[in-house]
Structure 1
C-alpha cells in the first residue's frame, strides 16, 4: 500500500503551534509579492532550496512579529492589498477561499484574523515532520513543503493499514501539533485522491474491492494532473466523472501519450516509485509589481532578479543550460523567451543574458509590465549537453571571481556587490 500525507491548512496550522489562541477561530494567511527586494532590502532575504509547493517562494524575508498582521498588507494610502494563501476551515465556512483578495475575504468574514506569512516556521515544521515520518516508515518522499508519500509494502500488512494511518495522524498531532490527513491505496495517485476525501484531520483507505465505488463518482477536475485545459477537453466529449473517463479508454488513448498515461493512473494500472531524494529540476524567481512603463526601471529590476537567481544557482552548485524570461503586461498580454546556452555559469554572463532576454521578450512596449519572471533549468547533471570549450580558460577565471562574489554576498547580503550597468540605472 502507498500512502499520501497532507498537512491540513498548513500555514494556518503552523501559526497555531506558536499561538494556540488561534484554535477554532477563522484565520487566514495573507500573501503579497515581495517587491521590497527592488528597494535594496535584499540583506533580509532567505533562500529556500529544499521545499516547493503553492505559495512557497525560493526567496523570502525573515519573519517580523507584528501586533496586527493586517498592517503588513496595508499601503500608505490605507488600502489593503494582497491575496490569501490559505485559510482555516472555520474561515472557509464563510466562503473564504485561497487566492481570494484580502479585502473581499474581510467582507465575507469581518472577524477573520489575517496573519503575515512566516516561511521560516513553515520550513522548520516541514523538516521536523519529514524527520518524524522517516522514523515511522521505511520509504518516505517529500513531494512539497506540506505533502509526503510513503510505501508500506512489506512493512505493514494491508489489513492493518487503516489502524496504522489513523494512529499515525494522531501521533503527529500530539508530537508536532500539526493536523494531517492520510490516504492509502494500491497506487500513490489514488492515495492522494483518498486524502482529499479524508480531510480535515482524517484517514481513508481504498482497497481494490472499494476502487470502483470510490473513484467512479469523483469529478475529473479533482484528480491531480487534470488541469483546466484537459478538463475542458473532457467536458467537450461529455466526460465529467472519473467513472465516465474510465469507460472511454479509446477516446483518451487517441489523444496521445499524456492522456493515455492519465487514463492508466485513474484506472489504477500504473504507479511510481517512492523517491526518497527529489532534486529540483529548475530554479526561478518572479515578482508581481505595480504597473510600470519605465523601461530603464524595469531593466534595473531585471538586474536585481538576476542577481538573486544567480545566488540561488550557485548555492545549488549546478550549471543550467536553459534560461527563460517572461513578462506579463496590462490587458492580459504576455510575452516570453527561452535561450539554451551550454557554457560555464558566471554571475556576469547570466546578468548580461537576462538583459538580452528582456530586450527580446519586451514585445509590447506601449504597455505597462505587471509581472517579471526568470527561470533556469536543464542542469548539466540532468541533461546530455556538453559545455562549450571555447574560451574555457577565461570563463573559468570569471567563474572563480563569481565564487568570490558569492562568499561576500553570503556574508554581507545580496546587494553587497552590484554590476556597474545596474548602478547606471539607479
Structure 2
C-alpha cells in the first residue's frame, strides 16, 4: 500500500513547538509579500531550494522576534495588511480560513494570536521529519515542505497497515513533536484523499472493498488535481461527486488526455511510483506590492528581482534557456513576455535581459503595477538546445566575474553586492 503523511496545520504547529504556551490557543500565521526586498537597506535575505508548496517562497527574509509584533503587519498608514497562510483548529472554529486577510480574521476572533512566518524553523522541522521517516520506511518521497508519500509494499502486510500508520503517527509526535495525519490506500492519489478525512491527528486506511463507499459521496472539488475550472466543467454536466464522475467515464474521457488521466486517478486505476528525489525544472521570483506607476522605480525593482534570481540560478548550477517576465496591473490587467536564449548565463546579461523583457511586456503604461514576476526554465540538462559559441571568449570573462560575485554573496549574503541601478 501507499501512504500519504501530512503535517497538521504545519506552520501553526511549528510555532507551538517554538513556544509551548500557544498550545490550545487560537493562533494563525500571517504574512505580507516581502516588499522589504526593495528597500535600499534590505538585508538578511536567504534562499531555499529544499522544499516547496503553498506559501513556501524560494526567497525569504530570516525570522526576527520583532516580526511577530502586530505593528509588523501594518503599513505606513497604520492599516493592517497581509493574509493568513494557516491557522490552528481552535482558530478555524471562529470561521478563520487560509488566505483570509488579517484584518478580517481579527474581526472574527479579536484574541487571535498572529505569528510571522519562520521559514528557517519550518525547513529544520521538515528535514527532521524526513530523516525520521527514512528510518521507518524504505521509500519516502517529500512532495512539499509538509507532505510526504511512502511505499509499504513488501514492507508491511496490507492487513497490518492500519496499526502500522497509527503507531507511526504517535512515534512522529513523540520524536519531532509534530502532529501528522496519515492516509493509506492502493494508490497515492486515494491515500492523499484519505488523509483529508483522517485530520486532525488521525489515520485512515482505504481497502479495495471500501473504495466505492469511501469516494462516492466526496465532492469533486475535494480531489487533488481538480481545480476551479475543471470543477465548474464537471458541475456543468451534473457531475458533483466522485461517484458521479466515476459513473460518467465516456463524458469525462472525451475531454482529452488530462481528463482521461484524472478519471483513472479518481477510479484508482492508475498510480505513480514513489520518487525519492525531484529535479527542479524551473525557478522564479515574484513580489506583490501597493499600486505603483513610477516606471523608474519599477525598473529598479526589476533589477533587484533579477539579482536575487541570478543568485539562485547560479547556486543551482544550471543554465536556463527560457526566460519569462509577467506584469500584473490594477483592474485585473496582465501582460507578459518570454524569450529563448541558449547562451552562457551571466548576471550582467540576465539583468539586461530582464529589463528588456519588462520594457516589452509593459503594454499598459497608463496603469499602476501591482505585481512583477520573473521565471527561468528549460535548463540545458533537460533541453535539446545547444549553447551558442558566438562571443564565447568575452562571455567566459564575464562568467568568471559572475562567479567571483557569487562567491562573495555566498559568504556574506545576497545583499552584499548590488547594482548601482538599484540605489
TM above 0.5: yes
Hey, what's the Cα distance between the residues in 1 that align with 2:146 and 2:206? 22
Show CA shifts across 1:70-112 (max 9, x none): 2220223321110000000000000000110100000001110
- In structure 2, the residue matched to 1:184 is 184
* Residues 404-413 or 255-264, more deviating: 404-413
Q: Using a 3 Å threshold, how does the CA distance of structure 1 residues 188 and 416 change in structure 2: closer, same or farther?
A: same
Q: CA RMSD in A?
A: 1.2
How do 1:100-179 residues align onto structure 2 when only pairs under 5 Å count? Answer: 100-179=100-179
Show CA shifts across 1:350-383 (max 9, x none): 1011001101111110000001111111111122
Q: Which runs of 5+ in 2 are unaligned?
A: none
- In structure 1, the residue matched to 2:201 is 201
Hey, what's the Cα distance between the residues in 2 that align with 1:398 and 1:284? 23
Q: Secondary structure at the match of 1:43?
A: coil
State whether residues 30 and 117 of structure 1, in contact with CA within 8 Å, keep that contact through their aligned partners in structure 2. Answer: yes
Q: Using a 3 Å threshold, how does the CA distance of structure 1 residues 287 and 67 change in structure 2: closer, same or farther?
A: closer
Q: Secondary structure at the match of 1:136?
A: coil
* Residues 96-105 or 243-252, more deviating: 243-252
- In structure 2, the residue matched to 1:385 is 385
State whether residues 42 and 414 of structure 1, in contact with CA within 8 Å, keep that contact through their aligned partners in structure 2. Answer: no
Deviation, 1:275, is 0.5
Hey, what's the Cα distance between the residues in 1 that align with 2:387 and 2:402? 18
State whether residues 70 and 116 of structure 1, in contact with CA within 8 Å, keep that contact through their aligned partners in structure 2. Answer: no
State whether residues 305 and 374 of structure 2, in contact with CA within 8 Å, keep that contact through their aligned partners in structure 1. Answer: yes
Show CA shifts across 1:121-144 (max 9, x none): 000000000000000000000000
State whether residues 311 and 406 of structure 1, in contact with CA within 8 Å, keep that contact through their aligned partners in structure 2. Answer: yes
Hey, what's the Cα distance between the residues in 1 that align with 2:360 and 2:68? 44
Deviation, 1:400, is 1.4
State whether residues 284 and 374 of structure 1, in contact with CA within 8 Å, keep that contact through their aligned partners in structure 2. Answer: yes
Deviation, 1:316, is 0.6
Is 2:329 the counterpart of 1:356?
no
Deviation, 1:40, is 2.8
How do 1:40-119 residues align onto structure 2 when only pairs under 5 Å count? Answer: 40-66=40-66, 69-119=69-119
Is 2:211 the counterpart of 1:211?
yes
- In structure 2, the residue matched to 1:243 is 243
Deviation, 1:419, is 3.4
Hey, what's the Cα distance between the residues in 2 that align with 1:69 and 1:341? 45
Hey, what's the Cα distance between the residues in 2 that align with 1:267 and 1:61? 43
Deviation, 1:396, is 1.8
State whether residues 325 and 337 of structure 2, in contact with CA within 8 Å, keep that contact through their aligned partners in structure 1. Answer: yes
* Residues 86-95 or 37-46, more deviating: 37-46
State whether residues 284 and 309 of structure 2, in contact with CA within 8 Å, keep that contact through their aligned partners in structure 1. Answer: yes
Deviation, 1:68, is 5.2
State whether residues 149 and 274 of structure 1, in contact with CA within 8 Å, keep that contact through their aligned partners in structure 2. Answer: yes
* Residues 215-224 or 409-418, more deviating: 409-418
Deviation, 1:231, is 0.7
Show CA shifts across 1:233-254 (max 9, x none): 1111111111111111111111
State whether residues 42 and 413 of structure 1, in contact with CA within 8 Å, keep that contact through their aligned partners in structure 2. Answer: no
Hey, what's the Cα distance between the residues in 2 that align with 1:372 and 1:388? 29
Q: Secondary structure at the match of 2:160?
A: helix
Hey, what's the Cα distance between the residues in 1 that align with 2:204 and 2:166? 8
- In structure 1, the residue matched to 2:369 is 369
State whether residues 40 and 415 of structure 1, in contact with CA within 8 Å, keep that contact through their aligned partners in structure 2. Answer: no
- For these two proteins, the number of residue pairs brought into alignment is 423
State whether residues 4 and 184 of structure 1, in contact with CA within 8 Å, keep that contact through their aligned partners in structure 2. Answer: yes
Q: Taking structure 1 as the reference length, what is the TM-score of the superposition?
A: 0.97
Deviation, 1:207, is 0.5
Hey, what's the Cα distance between the residues in 2 that align with 1:238 and 1:41? 56
State whether residues 33 and 289 of structure 1, in contact with CA within 8 Å, keep that contact through their aligned partners in structure 2. Answer: yes
How do 1:275-354 residues align onto structure 2 when only pairs under 5 Å count? Answer: 275-354=275-354
- In structure 1, the residue matched to 2:399 is 399
Hey, what's the Cα distance between the residues in 2 that align with 1:109 and 1:14? 21
Deviation, 1:41, is 4.1
Hey, what's the Cα distance between the residues in 1 that align with 2:187 and 2:377? 29
Hey, what's the Cα distance between the residues in 1 that align with 2:69 and 2:13? 16
How do 1:263-282 residues align onto structure 2 when only pairs under 5 Å count? Answer: 263-282=263-282
